[in-house]
Structure 1
Amino acid sequence: MALTLTVLLENRRAASADKSLQAKPGLSLLVQDETTTILFDTGPDDSFILNAAQMGIDLTQLTAVVLSHGHYDHCGGVPWLADNSRIICHPQIACERYASITLAGTPRKIKKLSRENDYSRHIMEYTRKPLAISDRFLWSGEISVPTPQAYGVISEKIPQPDYISDEGVLIYKSERGLVIITGCGHRGIENIVRHCQNITGVSQIYALVGGFHLRAASPAKLWRTRQFIQQQQPEKLLGCHCTGSWGRLWLPGTDAPATGDVIVLAE
């Protein structure tokens, strides 16, 4: 049973892709096996829809839309989804969030990172717990992190650190091991992989796909990540979006999917 990943939107356009396809900071993947079709993230706007149309892809028969987390470059395209789309995500997806700097001990908002999407017109499945989408596809639910890192603030009366606790991943259980598809990897690749192994009972990793959030990581973090991934021995490493060329430099053998690419993971 093959798993096909079509890159509807990524930071870069593939060299061999139609020049009319748009590339923007963000991520949107169409993930399919023989029975299930999932849209994983939407990117920041309607680019994923325009690119799908240009590639001759029909997005009207989706099994589900999975949103990895509430940053605009992953859920900004929600307004362009068809009414009554089935959307699977964490309950905190719609939190208002900002990048920030700390001055005199007080966080100051500097850039809005969320979108005010209307989720009321969709069939929403909010869950912090893992959710089976099909026999092979699984939403991870909330990923436990021993020492979470804050990425900006959640806007409340008193702004609170934003640990991106709403970030989850899409898991595919293949005969060769788990395929783990990440949006940004804010929760840390090691934490993500351990969580997926724990909830599935499967230790073998076939492929890691998506954003690994390593484009500005320290050499120490990159070394730890490299060591951990080498221990897992995945057959495929597909690092796009926020993995960055710096992150890929530290992860030998990592491919870089781009807008317009179609990748088939065969079993």
Structure 2
Amino acid sequence: MPLTIKVLLENRRAAGAEKSLLAKAGLSLLIKDETTSVLFDTGPDNSFLHNAALMGVDLTALTATVLSHGHYDHCGGVPWLPNNSRIICHPQIANERFAALKLAGFSRKIKKLSLDIDYSRHQMEYSRIPVPISERFLWSGEINVDEPRAYGIISGNSAAMDYVIDEGVLIYKSDHGLVIITGCGHRGIINIVRHCQNITGIKQIYALIGGFHLRSALPPELLRIRRFLHQQKIQKVMGCHCTGAWGRLWLPDVIAPATGDTFVL
């Protein structure tokens, strides 16, 4: 059973793609098999709709939209989804969050990383645990990490470190192993893969696709990830969005998806 992945929005436009296609910092993928169609993330605005129309992609019959986490470049397009859209995500998706600069033990907000989005008009399925979408598609739920890394702060009565606890991934159970689709990989690629293996009981990973958050990673971390991916014998590694050119340089046989691309697995 083939799995089709259409890149509706990515940081770069594919070589030779229609010049009218928009490329912006963010990610939006349409992933479908013979029975199920899932929109994974929406990018920062309505650019995914613009590109979908140019690519001849029909978004009117989605099985579900899955939001990887609450950063604006992944869920900012939600206001352009039809009313009553089925959206699967973590309960903390709407946290107000900021990039922050630490000085003398204090954190100073420098950039807002979330948007004020009205989710109430949609069919929201908030879950910390895995959610089956179809026989083969699965939302991972919350990914436990022993030593999580902070990516800014969460606003509130008392600002707390933002460990992007709401980040989850989309899993597809192919005949050749798991296909794991990530938004940004804030929880760590190795942690994400282990989590998916644990909740499905399937050890073989066929493909790893999405943002891996490696654009400024240090060489020791990149070497550790490179070894891990090699040990897992993953057949297809597709690093886009925040993987960055630096991150892709270190990954074995990596493919770099871009806006306008279509892949069939």
Runs of 4+ residues deviating >6 angstroms? none
Q: Identify unmatched segments of 5+ residues in structure 2.
A: none
Q: Which residue of 1 aligns with 2:81?
A: 81
Q: Distance in 1 between matches of 2:141 and 2:22?
A: 31
Instruction: Assess if the C-alpha contact under 8 Å between 2:230 and 2:252 holds in 1.
Output: no
Q: Which residue of 2 aligns with 1:199?
A: 199
Instruction: Assess if the C-alpha contact under 8 Å between 2:176 and 2:204 holds in 1.
Output: yes
SS in 1 for 2:255: coil
Q: Which residue of 1 aligns with 2:183?
A: 183
Q: Which residue of 1 aligns with 2:225?
A: 225
Amino acid at match of 1:27: L
Q: Which residue of 1 aligns with 2:165?
A: 165
Q: Which residue of 2 aligns with 1:28?
A: 28
TM-score, reference length from structure 1: 0.99
1:68-113 deviations in Å (ceiling 9; x for gaps): 0000000000000000000000000000000001112111100000
Q: Distance in 2 between matches of 1:222 and 1:57?
A: 35
Q: Distance in 1 between matches of 2:44 and 2:92?
A: 18
Which shifted more, 182-191 or 51-60?
51-60
SS in 2 for 1:245: helix
Amino acid at match of 1:154: I
Q: Distance in 1 between matches of 2:110 and 2:159?
A: 13
SS in 2 for 1:171: strand
SS in 2 for 1:114: coil
SS in 2 for 1:38: strand
User: What displacement does 1:57 show?
Assistant: 1.2
Q: Distance in 2 between matches of 1:114 and 1:234?
A: 33
User: What displacement does 1:252 show?
Assistant: 2.6
Instruction: Assess if the C-alpha contact under 8 Å between 2:148 and 2:187 holds in 1.
Output: yes
Q: Which residue of 2 aligns with 1:63?
A: 63
Amino acid at match of 1:29: L
Amino acid at match of 2:74: H
Q: Which residue of 1 aligns with 2:42?
A: 42
SS in 2 for 1:237: strand
Amino acid at match of 1:146: D
TM-score, reference length from structure 2: 0.99
* Superposition map of 1:1-267 within 5 A: 1-265=1-265
Q: Distance in 2 between matches of 1:130 and 1:252?
A: 29
SS in 2 for 1:226: helix
Amino acid at match of 2:175: E
Q: Distance in 2 between matches of 1:47 and 1:222?
A: 32
Q: Distance in 2 between matches of 1:66 and 1:258?
A: 20
Q: Distance in 2 between matches of 1:262 and 1:248?
A: 19
Q: Distance in 2 between matches of 1:157 and 1:100?
A: 16
Amino acid at match of 2:178: L
1:166-189 deviations in Å (ceiling 9; x for gaps): 000000000100000000000000
User: What displacement does 1:138 show?
Assistant: 0.2
User: What displacement does 1:56 show?
Assistant: 1.4
Amino acid at match of 1:90: H
SS in 2 for 1:228: helix
1:170-215 deviations in Å (ceiling 9; x for gaps): 0000010000000000000000000000000000000000000000
Q: Identify unmatched segments of 5+ residues in structure 1.
A: none
Provide the aligned C-alpha RMSD in A. 0.5
Q: Distance in 2 between matches of 1:214 and 1:44?
A: 20
Q: Distance in 2 between matches of 1:99 and 1:157?
A: 17
SS in 1 for 2:196: helix
